[in-house]
Amino acid sequence: MTLIAAGTMVLDGQICRPGWLTVSGRRIGDCGCGAPPHPPDIDYPDATTVVPGFVDMHVHGGGGAWYTDGHPDEIASAAGFHLRHGTTTTLASLVTASPDDLLAAVRGLAEATRKGVIAGIHIEGPWLSRERCGAHDPGQLRDPDRAEIDAVLAAGDDAIRMVTLAPELPGSAAAIRRFVDAGTVVAVGHTDATYEQTRQAIAAGATVGTHLFNAMRPLHHREPGPALALLQDPGVTLELIADGVHVHPALVRGVIEAAGADRVALVTDATAAAGCADGSFRLGTQEIDVVSGVAHVHGTSTLAGSTATMDGLFRNVAGLSSDPDEGLAAAVAMTSTTPARVLGLGHVGSLRSGMDANLVVLSQVLEISSVMVNGGWVSDQGSHWPRAQPPN
C-alpha cells in the first residue's frame, strides 16, 4: 500500500488542502482531507495539485496515430499519447466510413476495449447531416438502417458506449430507441435539426449534445435550432471543445454558468495531428491540413477536429472563474466526473475509496507532472503502462 499526500487534492469533488489517499493494487483505499495518518510514501509540495484522471469521451487519435482504422498498434499509440497528457480513460471515436470499413474498425476497437487499452467506442457517423457534416466524408453519409445498426452493435460486442446521429434523418427515432435499448448513449450532433426535432430526439432517449454549437444549425431568434433544446433540458450533457478555437471562451463560460459543470463534458475531438508539428494528415477518408495548430479540411475553412489534449482544456477552463477553488472544482467535474457518469463508468472519474487509482499530478501552473493509471505510474515514453480492466 502506498500513501500519497499533496498540498492540494480534489477528493470526491471536495478541494482538500492538504489531502491524502492510499493506493492498494489498482484501487484507491482510504482518503481524507488534512494531514495524512502517518508519514506518506510520496509527499507532494504545497504548490502541487492532485486530481482524478481525465475521461475523454470524444477523441479520434493523437501523437500521429488514429483510431479510425481499428489497428492495434495505432490504437495503443494514440491512447498512450493521450495517457501521458492525463487521459486515463479514453472513448475512441470513429468517423464516417463505408459499411465494411465501419464494421472492421468497430471490431478492432472492441478487441482493444476487451484488452483494456480503451474504455469503449464512440461512433460519430455515418448517420449525420450532409448540410452539417464538417470533416466527415459526405459521400459515405447515409440514413440510419436497422440492419446496419444491428450489425454494428453485434460487431461492437457491448463496447459501443456512445453514438452520434442527426435526429432529422429518416429512421432516426427508431435508431435512437434501438441504441438506447442496447445500453448505448445517444448524442445529437452534426445536425441541421430544428428545435422541435431535437426535443423529440431527447424525448426518445438522446442525452448528449456532441461538441455543442459546432456542426449544428446555429441559434436564431426565430428558429432556435438544436443548441437551445440541448441547453434547456437538464437531462442532457453538453460536450464542449474548450480549445479557444471551436468555441469562444466567453461562450464556454456562459454555458458552464447556465448549465453547471455537472452537465458539461470537455472533449478534445483530437485527431492524429495532436502533439505533432503542422502538416498534412488524414481523418478517415478526408485530407486535413494543420496550420498554427488548427486543423481544417484540405482546401477549405472547415474545422477538422482539434489538436487539443485534456490537460490543456483543464487549464483553459480552470482559469475562467475569478475564484480559483471554484474554477478547479469545475475543471475536475468537466474533465473527469461528468463524462464518467454520462458513460456509466462507475469506477473512474473521482478520487474516493474503491475507485480505480487513476490520478493526475499537476504543477503550480497546472502542467502535467505525473500520471497514475490503475495504481501504476506512467513512463515518459508510455510504451509500457498498466491496462485498464474492461468497463463495468
Q: Which residues pair with 15 in a beta bridge?
A: 10
Q: Region 182-204: what's the mean pLDDT? A: 98
Query: Which secondary structure element, helix H or strand E, spans residue 264, and what is its range?
Result: strand 264-266
pLDDT exceeds 50 at position 388: no
Q: What angle do CA 327, 8, 369 make, to 5 degrees?
A: 90
pLDDT averaged over every residue in the chain: 94
The answer on whether 304 is annotated among ligand-binding residues is yes
The answer on whether 303 is annotated among ligand-binding residues is yes
Give the per-residue pLDDT at 380.
60
- What is the share, in percent, of the chain residues with pLDDT greater than 70? 97
Residue 98 carries which DSSP code? -
The answer on whether 211 is annotated among ligand-binding residues is yes
d(C-alpha 81, C-alpha 206), whole Å: 31
Give the per-residue pLDDT at 69.
84
Give the contacts of 57 (CB within 8 A, at least 6 positions apart): 91, 122, 161, 162, 239, 265, 267, 339, 342, 343
The answer on whether 240 is annotated among ligand-binding residues is no
Q: Region 286-290: what's the mean pLDDT? A: 92
Q: List the grid coordinates of 236.
A: 442532457
The answer on whether 352 is annotated among ligand-binding residues is no
pLDDT band at 286, cuts 50/70/90? confident
d(C-alpha 278, C-alpha 282), whole Å: 13
- Per-residue pLDDT of 220-244, as tens digits, reads 999 999 999 999 999 999 999 999 9
Closest by alpha carbon to 128, among 175, 161, 67, 160? 175
Closest by alpha carbon to 44, among 3, 87, 1? 3
pLDDT exceeds 70 at position 152: yes
Count CB neighbours of 109 within 10 A: 31
Give the length of the chain: 392
Q: List the grid coordinates of 233.
A: 433540458
Residue 70 carries which DSSP code? -
Query: Which secondary structure element, helix H or strand E, spans residue 282, and what is its range?
Result: strand 279-283
**Spatial contact of 308 and 270, defined as CB atoms under 8 Å apart:** yes
Q: What is the DSSP string of 10-62?
A: EETTEEESSEEEEEETTEEEEEEESS-SS--SEE--TT-EEEEPEEEEEE-EE
Give the per-residue pLDDT at 78.
97
The answer on whether 25 is annotated among ligand-binding residues is no
pTM of the model: 0.94
Closest by alpha carbon to 153, among 181, 114, 187? 181
Q: What angle do CA 233, 351, 60 make, to 5 degrees?
A: 60
**Spatial contact of 187 and 164, defined as CB atoms under 8 Å apart:** yes
- Per-residue pLDDT of 295-350, as tens digits, reads 999 999 999 999 999 999 999 999 998 899 999 999 999 999 999 999 999 999 99
**Spatial contact of 215 and 241, defined as CB atoms under 8 Å apart:** no
**Spatial contact of 195 and 224, defined as CB atoms under 8 Å apart:** yes
Query: Which secondary structure element, helix H or strand E, spans residue 289, and what is its range?
Result: strand 286-291
Q: Region 105-129: what's the mean pLDDT? A: 97
Give the per-residue pLDDT at 139.
94
- Per-residue pLDDT of 255-276, as tens digits, reads 999 999 999 999 999 999 999 9
pLDDT exceeds 60 at position 384: no
Give the per-residue pLDDT at 70.
83
Residue with cell 448517420: 127
Backbone φ/ψ region at 31: left (φ over 0), alpha (ψ -120 to 50), beta:
beta
d(C-alpha 378, C-alpha 381), whole Å: 8
Catalytic positions: 269
Domains recognised in the chain with CATH numbers: 2-51+349-377 (2.30.40.10), 54-334 (3.20.20.140)
pLDDT exceeds 50 at position 385: no
**Spatial contact of 335 and 314, defined as CB atoms under 8 Å apart:** yes
The answer on whether 214 is annotated among ligand-binding residues is yes
pLDDT band at 284, cuts 50/70/90? confident
Give the per-residue pLDDT at 277.
96
